[in-house]
């Protein structure tokens, strides 16, 4: 279906044409280009609370929240004020700062699963460093990842399962040497048998298993707790490190992330997104014993010119302080559940084939009634329905991430009234999606 009514995006459209002269595809991160939906991407000029405004002066209730970091909504006053206060004293010194200590202490004091951490500047960097640490710690080189989990644009993780009987991965991007991809084994999620078989055969070469414990980059593929527990058990048994990539789930499904949600102790945890309060911050963390392998204490080298710069630390500190408030996550989950139920009940009453998957303040609209726990269960054709929904919602003033594989995020700034309004607009749009 061709969706051409983009009349309210004239300025965005012309800025996008200009941007194409400067940036590949007009963007600085590929999904922003709206390739899987329709029309030009929105150019946003301002955000406040749960809403943002584009260059054409349209206002949207935003459920992308900068792809997850903005758990407090746009332009959170405490974050903004602390950033301004800090930036007046300079942006970066290339030395340790007290603010770094403060954010480190706040995080470690509130998380039973980690003892020491290192700040970096993105989720990708956190994952890349965690993999190196696991290899340095174990002296082994192969890693296992799961189909449907995204871990940033790390060479050895832009890999999918080889076809047929091939055990080792093939890269999903040009520019990745085959020998790198071969160091990665890709398995289906939620499949203990495939895991058993692979570990039995290759455990002596495997440094780590990396998983998004709440896989939220390819739909929301919630795992059975027993599968995550099995990972923990098998990793112990075979001397393999378990890495939880909590770049999305960290500080999102609870203060202790998915580790706390499922009460499973991974060996290394990676963070990003929320940890920086909207500034570029990532981190990896583990026991003191494992982290002792990082330079300058140990032989695994990892460094960063702007790591833990005070402005980013200030944003992170002001944000994390707010999510540590008593009852914060319970409230977030309760209002997300109410919101999701308003849509689910409507779709059920109308007989629309929709299932909204949710955990904490994350939700994903699946156009299928099946319980989906693995990437290959998602029907690619259903993305055509998402495209119509997305387009319709842009006309009505609701912004979802521009792909049906992306999850939505509710922030603390979405009030009950905002969510009710959004649910009504989503329901009206569902009528268009299913009118056909």
Ligand X SMILES: *Cc1c(COP(=O)(O)O)cnc(C)c1O
Is 116 a known active-site residue?
Answer: no
Helices 328-350 and 416-435: crossing angle in degrees, nearest 10, is: 30
Q: How far is CA 166 from the centre of its chain?
A: 29
Is 57 a known active-site residue?
Answer: no
Dihedral, CA of residue 202, residue 206, residue 212 and residue 213, to nearest 10: 70
- The nearer residue to ligand X, 14 or 36, going by C-beta atoms, is 36
- The nearer residue to ligand X, 124 or 309, going by C-beta atoms, is 124
Smallest gap from residue 127 Cβ to ligand X (A): 5
Interaction between residue 234 and ligand X (CB under 6 A): no
N- to C-terminal Cα separation, the chain: 11
Using the rule CB under 6 A, which residue among 217, 307, 309, 344 binds ligand X? Answer: 217
Interaction between residue 124 and ligand X (CB under 6 A): yes
Interaction between residue 245 and ligand X (CB under 6 A): yes
Interaction between residue 418 and ligand X (CB under 6 A): no
Q: Is 417 exposed, middle or buried (0-12, 13-18, 19+ CB in 10 A)?
A: exposed
Give the interface segment with ligand X, choosing from 149-157, 295-303, 325-333, 396-404 (CB under 6 A).
149-157
Q: How far apart are CA 335 and CA 341, in angstroms?
A: 10
Spell out a b/e string for 329-353, using b for 16 or more CB atoms within 10 Å of the CB, else e.
beebbebbbebbebbbebbeeeebe
Q: With CB under 6 A, what is the number of residues at the site for ligand X?
A: 14
Q: How far is CA 159 from the centre of its chain?
A: 18
Interaction between residue 135 and ligand X (CB under 6 A): no
Q: How far apart are CA 221 and CA 367, in angstroms?
A: 14
H helix or E strand, kind and range, residue 187: strand 184-188
Is 182 a known active-site residue?
Answer: no
Restricted to residues 259-298, the positions that interact with ligand X (CB under 6 A) are: 272, 282
Cβ atoms of 19 and 26 within 8 Å: the answer is yes
Restricted to residues 64-123, the positions that interact with ligand X (CB under 6 A) are: 122-123
Residue 271: C-alpha distances to residues 29, 294, 376 (Å): 19, 17, 26
- The nearer residue to ligand X, 271 or 317, going by C-beta atoms, is 271
Using the rule CB under 6 A, which residue among 72, 128, 248, 294 binds ligand X? Answer: 248
Q: Which of 190, 238, 230 is nearest to 214 (CA)?
A: 190
Interaction between residue 145 and ligand X (CB under 6 A): no
Q: Say which of 140, 142, 234, 273 is annotated catalytic.
A: 273
Give the interface segment with ligand X, choosing from 188-196, 240-248, 319-327, 357-365 (CB under 6 A).
240-248
- The nearer residue to ligand X, 266 or 282, going by C-beta atoms, is 282
Give the interface segment with ligand X, choosing from 85-93, 245-253, 307-315, 333-341 (CB under 6 A).
245-253
Residue 343: strand, helix, or coil = helix
Residue at token pair 């955000």: 47
Smallest gap from residue 349 Cβ to ligand X (A): 34
Q: Say which of 54, 62, 147, 150 is annotated catalytic.
A: 150
Using the rule CB under 6 A, which residue among 64, 247, 423, 433 binds ligand X? Answer: 247
Using the rule CB under 6 A, which residue among 54, 62, 147, 212 binds ligand X? Answer: 212
Q: Say which of 147, 245, 267, 418 is annotated catalytic.
A: 245
Among all residues, which ones are annotated catalytic?
150, 245, 273
Which residues form the interface with ligand X (CB under 6 A)? 122-124, 127, 150-152, 212, 217, 245, 247-248, 272, 282
């Amino acid at each position: 279906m061709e969706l051409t009514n983009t009349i309210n995006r004239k300025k965005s459209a012309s800025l996008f044409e200009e941007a194409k002269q400067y940036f590949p595809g007009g963007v600085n991160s590929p999904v922003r280009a709206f390739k899987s939906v329709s029309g030009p991407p929105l150019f946003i000029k301002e955000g406040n609370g749960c809403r943002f405004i584009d260059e054409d002066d349209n206002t949207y209730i935003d459920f992308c929240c900068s792809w997850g970091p903005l758990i407090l909504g746009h332009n959170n006053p405490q974050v903004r004020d602390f950033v301004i206060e800090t930036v007046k004293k300079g942006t970066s010194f290339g030395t340790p700062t007290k603010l770094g200590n403060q954010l480190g202490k706040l995080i470690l004091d509130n998380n039973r699963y980690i003892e020491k951490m290192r700040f970096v500047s993105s989720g990708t960097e956190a994952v890349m460093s965690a993999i190196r640490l696991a290899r340095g710690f174990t002296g082994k080189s192969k890693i296992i990842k799961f189909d449907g989990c995204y871990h940033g644009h790390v060479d050895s993780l832009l890999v999918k399962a080889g076809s047929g009987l091939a055990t080792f991965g093939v890269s999903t991007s040009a520019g990745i040497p085959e020998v790198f991809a071969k160091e990665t084994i890709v398995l289906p999620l939620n499949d203990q048998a495939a895991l058993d078989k692979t570990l039995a055969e290759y455990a002596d070469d495997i440094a780590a298993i990396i998983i998004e414990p709440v896989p939220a980059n390819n739909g929301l593929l919630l795992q059975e707790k027993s599968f995550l527990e099995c990972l923990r058990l098998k990793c112990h048994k075979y001397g393999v490190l378990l890495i939880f990539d909590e770049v999305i789930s960290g500080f999102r499904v609870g203060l202790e992330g998915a580790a706390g949600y499922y009460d499973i102790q991974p060996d290394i945890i990676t963070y990003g997104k929320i940890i920086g309060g909207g500034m570029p911050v990532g981190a990896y963390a583990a026991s003191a014993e494992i982290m002792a392998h990082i330079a300058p204490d140990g032989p695994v080298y990892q460094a960063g010119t702007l790591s833990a710069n005070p402005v980013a630390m200030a944003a992170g500190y002001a944000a994390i302080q707010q999510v540590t408030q008593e009852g914060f996550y319970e409230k977030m989950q309760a209002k997300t559940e109410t919101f999701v139920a308003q849509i689910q009940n409507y779709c059920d009453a109308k007989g629309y084939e929709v299932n909204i998957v949710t955990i904490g303040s994350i939700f994903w609209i699946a156009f299928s009634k099946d319980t989906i726990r693995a990437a290959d269960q998602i029907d690619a054709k259903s993305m055509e329905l998402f495209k119509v929904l997305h387009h319709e919602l842009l006309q009505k003033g609701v912004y979802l991430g521009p792909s049906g594989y992306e999850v939505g995020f509710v922030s603390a700034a979405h009030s009950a009234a905002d969510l009710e309004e959004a649910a009504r607009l989503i329901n009206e749009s569902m009528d268009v999606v299913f009118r056909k």
